[in-house]
Amino acid sequence: MRKTGTSRESQDRSGKESEASGGAIPEEGWPLTMDVPCAQRRVSFFKLIDTLASEIGELKQEMVETDLILKSESGSTGDPSLVQDMENIFLEKKDFKANTRDSGYDSFSPKLSVLDKLLQTHPVWLQLSLSDEEAVNILQCQPPGSFLVRKAAKLQKKFLSLRLPNESGSCLKEFAIKESSYTFSLEGSGISFADLFRLIAFYCISRDVLPFTLKLPHSISVARTEGELEDIAQLGLNFWTSPANQITTPASTAPPACHRPPSPGGALPKPHLINGLSSLRTRTPSELECGPGKGALCFINPLFLQVHSQDGGGNGAERRRQGRAGWTRPPPPPRPPPPVLSSPRLLGVFKKPGLSMPETTVGAESPERKPVPVPPPRLKKQASVSSSPVDWDGRDQSALSAGAGASCGSESGQPNRCGGGRQQQRLSDMSISTSSSDSLELERRVPLFCYEADSSFEDYEGDPESDPESMPPPLKPSKKRSSSFVLPRVVKAQLLKVSSVFTSLMTPERRMVRRVADMARDKRTYFGCLVQDYISFLLENKECHVSSTDMLQTIRQFMTQVKNYLAQSSELDPPIESLIPEDQIDMVLEKAMHKCILKPLKGHIEAMLKEFHATDGSWKQLRENLQLVRQRTPRELGVCAPTPDTLDLEKIKARFLTMQKTYSPDKKVLLLLRVCKLIYTCMEHNSGRMYGADDFLPVLTYVMAQCDMLELDIEIEYMMELLDPLLLHGEGGYYLTSAYGALSLIKNFQEEQAARLLSSEARHTLRQWHKRRTTNRTVPSVDDFQNYLRVALQEAESGCTGKTLLVRPYTTTEDVCQICAEKFKVQDPENYGLFLFIDETWQQLTEDTYPQKIKAELHSRPQPQVFHFVYRRIRSDHPGIIFIHEDGDSSSDYLP
């Protein structure tokens, strides 16, 4: 009790009384026995529940009841579906359940949560490019509560279109969706969510600022299996007019009242239909439903509601809000319909994809209409494993319950929240997704964790411990949050401990990065093919780049292109815009590119860079010059400020070594900034003097020479060429430039001594770099990066060897055969041909076909198929081109 005393005392007077009545607690305070604190805790827990309950009112009491149900679950025979529904509202519950339940009940009959359903069926309701007119057409035939999410072409803003009851005058009302840097919320509401799906899921259950809750189409809400949902999702926008939507609508629910307003006061018996103003009162959880037969969905995060009522200032505000958002006020006139844009998603269904090489350059088209460059294959649902529960709620759910207590107890300063296990869970569950003042603390931490979690859990990352005073400033000064608070070191360590909790919760960003990375490994996706083909091409064709810059530039360009592709393609499912606020998308995708392209290539790139520098002799020169420069005194190098001592140099060196281990250019730059910060600290030496470039650059040169690391050359080149061009303007860009400059000075030290100037050649190189990096921001075309074709050579003796070839869209099979003959060093090319192996059959491609087009066509098929291009001997005794092949072992097919 003592430990948590301050946190609980205030609400816990009865707890004290019980202490007294128990008589075990003397005035000294500290309990004499161990039992007593337990009793206290229990008492205080109940007291806490009481307190909270009275705060939240009857709603909260509902919560306690459900809580009890949950607790007694193992032995209870209570309505299991009720329990399940409650648990399933937010997917996070699932893991938790999995831990506590051993019946395996769920695995046998998985029930789908609202969130699940929304995720799976987003092609139906998430219609970002739908015009006003189309939206009206669709929704007017739907029951009230039906909704679509769209994007305003002009404002680049998403909004929710909600079907109103007919008596309300206008059939649609629109609610703008606000995107702040990490969250989505409805305008006017204090509740925000990590992504669009959670937002919609919430409003399916609670109306908040809406006149009533959202209704999923009937067939979706009654769907029991993923298969059903999948079928619905396949229909996309057509769902609304399809029989799937109409037929299954039972007569008892709202008839699609297209033209005929329902009889006034007509007894509309359907429980989920809103009939008139009476529905405007606040609903208790038990009244909230998600469709017939599903029972009450009462497990809304209670704090949402609590927070909300606080925000609104209680019931009065609630009523005001109703007045504001309800239809007591005439809805706004319908907007004039903008020019009709057809949905890219729909186009994707009908367009013969892939045959023409995709046009990516948006050019004259309005930016918000994103063309689908390559209609990607419609993935079977298992491909969306990534969006299935497991991935969705993160992996660390178990850590959640363990860590949540620590987090709220030790730092959050919200002790009264730490009631018991369940309470904690809920708290941590939601604090991330609310933006209310209550959870502000936690929310503000997000960026920090974001970074630390990234580094400490995923990739190797620097040494946060040795340099507490210099948390590096963020690369993007615009992100105020991460920089505006400094945590004491101890707290930081604690935070780090529980950060695993947060990784699972807070960053849609991380989830997105992971999803993209998963997709990049999945060759059934178009994107995965691009990335994998490119990577194998690079690995196999070492000779294809003439210089280190050439190589790095191509890689950078590839990343930019794939990034663009990904931002525009519909292959990311659900679309990235529904998970990541618009202004973050590029940054998130950039991170994902690093992970899926640079990570696998890092070793190769380094080896290649070393090779290039060894070959052209630049390393030899650098080594000699480093030696030379190290013998100079700081003074001789133009240093006029204090320099780092041996100890500091060791620290710096350690940081450079760390830098070598990470693949992300961003993180490397961050480490460079830490080094520079340390140098400044040494220079200032408590003098308070500010040093500009005149002083800093010489010291940096001195330091880099003292570190005596040839590899720094590679590191800097890596960063210079691969860093996101946008970052080159910021602080990272500046110090990177300085480091590059310092290294150039060292490399040209001898000449400099002779001429006091860099050689004209070096100057030229600098200019070239500058030019490249500042001009390559034009929108790239997809063409360049799809030009890879993986071809296997099959030989009787040696089996298969694969090579990735550069094959342009209009390269014919004849040309490809020629390339193959060269690459594979085939002596008798006339006896070889290019085959497509698909569906267990071999087809020889005729000379005038285009392998890339065939590949594109295959990729665009709805059912992904495994296929290979194989360069192999033609069976002369077998004029029929197609023959059966078994089991991947084709030796029997060969000529004797």
Partner 1 sequence: MGNNLIGRHTEQHTQPSIQDTGVGKSSIVCRFVQDHFDHNISPTIGASFMTKTVPCGNELHKFLIWDTAGQERFHSLAPMYYRGSAAAVIVYDITKQDSFHTLKKWVKELKEHGPENIVMAIAGNKCDLSDIREVTVKDAREYAESISAIVVETSAKNAINVEELFQGISRQIPPLNSHENGNTGTIKLAKQTSQTSRRCC
Which residue, 740 or 824, has its beta carbon nearer to partner 1?
740
Residue 325: left (phi > 0), alpha (psi -120 to 50), or beta? alpha
Other Cβ atoms within 10 Å of 510 Cβ, number: 21
Q: Closest approach of Cβ 638 to partner 1, in Å?
A: 6
Which residue, 190 or 474, has its beta carbon nearer to partner 1?
474
184 Cβ partners below 8 Å, 6+ apart?
Answer: 177, 178, 192, 193, 194, 195, 196, 198, 199, 581
Which residue, 416 or 759, has its beta carbon nearer to partner 1?
759
Which is nearest to 472 in space by CA: 459, 460, 483?
483
- The pair of three-digit structure tokens given for residue 183, joined into one six-digit string: 């969250």
Measured distance CA(852)–CA(291) in Å, rounded: 49
Which residue, 170 or 470, has its beta carbon nearer to partner 1?
470
Pair 411, 387: CB distance under 8 Å = no
Alpha helices, H only, 326-467: 344-350, 389-392, 397-406, 421-431, 440-453
Which residue, 64 or 697, has its beta carbon nearer to partner 1?
697
Q: Closest approach of Cβ 186 to partner 1, in Å?
A: 21
Pair 474, 230: CB distance under 8 Å = no
Q: Closest approach of Cβ 689 to partner 1, in Å?
A: 9
Exposed (0-12), middle (13-18) or buried (19+): which is 865, by Cβ within 10 Å? exposed
Alpha helices, H only, 644-748: 646-661, 665-684, 693-707, 711-722, 731-747
Which residue, 589 or 820, has its beta carbon nearer to partner 1?
589
- The pair of three-digit structure tokens given for residue 209, joined into one six-digit string: 């600022």
User: Is 664 in a helix, a strand, or coil?
Assistant: coil
Pair 789, 805: CB distance under 8 Å = yes
Pair 503, 510: CB distance under 8 Å = yes
Which residue, 484 or 646, has its beta carbon nearer to partner 1?
484
Which residue, 279 or 361, has its beta carbon nearer to partner 1?
361
Which residue, 116 or 721, has its beta carbon nearer to partner 1?
721
Chain residues in the site for partner 1 (CB under 8 A): 470, 472-474, 477-478, 480, 483-484, 583, 638, 640, 673, 676-677, 680, 690-698, 725-726, 728-731, 734-735, 737-738, 740-741, 744-745, 752, 756-758, 762-763, 766-771, 773-775, 777
Q: Which amino acid is at 533?
A: D
Strand partners, 873: 832
Q: Closest approach of Cβ 686 to partner 1, in Å?
A: 15
CA distances for 405 relative to 337, 388, 402, 410, 412, angstroms? 52, 28, 7, 8, 10
Q: Closest approach of Cβ 6 to partner 1, in Å?
A: 30
Measured distance CA(452)–CA(482) in Å, rounded: 11
Q: Closest approach of Cβ 759 to partner 1, in Å?
A: 9
Which residue, 205 or 676, has its beta carbon nearer to partner 1?
676
Which is nearest to 282 in space by CA: 213, 341, 351?
213
Q: CA Rg, the chain, in Å? A: 32
Which residue, 14 or 738, has its beta carbon nearer to partner 1?
738
Q: Closest approach of Cβ 479 to partner 1, in Å?
A: 8
Measured distance CA(773)–CA(600) in Å, rounded: 24
Which residue, 291 or 472, has its beta carbon nearer to partner 1?
472
Q: Closest approach of Cβ 435 to partner 1, in Å?
A: 18
Measured distance CA(533)–CA(789) in Å, rounded: 7
Strand partners, 800: 794
Torsions phi, psi of 817, nearest 5?
A: -60, -40
Q: Closest approach of Cβ 495 to partner 1, in Å?
A: 19
Q: Closest approach of Cβ 272 to partner 1, in Å?
A: 41
Which residue, 182 or 327, has its beta carbon nearer to partner 1?
182
- Dihedral of CA atoms 316, 319, 325, 328 in degrees, nearest 10, equals -140
For every residue of 46-109, DSSP letters joined together read HHHHHHHHHHHTHHHHHHHHHHHHHHGGGT--S-HHHHHHHHHSSTHHHHHHHHH--S-HHHHS
Which residue, 141 or 697, has its beta carbon nearer to partner 1?
697
Q: Closest approach of Cβ 668 to partner 1, in Å?
A: 16
Measured distance CA(47)–CA(416) in Å, rounded: 11
Q: Closest approach of Cβ 675 to partner 1, in Å?
A: 10
Q: Closest approach of Cβ 737 to partner 1, in Å?
A: 5
User: Is 343 in a helix, a strand, or coil?
Assistant: coil
Which residue, 773 or 875, has its beta carbon nearer to partner 1?
773
Q: Closest approach of Cβ 470 to partner 1, in Å?
A: 8
Which residue, 379 or 641, has its beta carbon nearer to partner 1?
641
Q: How far is CA 184 from the centre of its chain?
A: 14
Q: Closest approach of Cβ 679 to partner 1, in Å?
A: 8
Which residue, 375 or 472, has its beta carbon nearer to partner 1?
472
Q: What DSSP designation does 4 have? A: H
Which residue, 540 or 752, has its beta carbon nearer to partner 1?
752
Q: What is the largest CA-CA distance in the chain?
A: 104
Q: Closest approach of Cβ 774 to partner 1, in Å?
A: 5
Show contacts of 21-30: CB within 8 Å, 24+ apart: 29/2, 30/2
Measured distance CA(747)–CA(629) in Å, rounded: 10
Torsions phi, psi of 842, nearest 5?
A: -105, 135
Q: Closest approach of Cβ 789 to partner 1, in Å?
A: 34
Q: Closest approach of Cβ 700 to partner 1, in Å?
A: 9
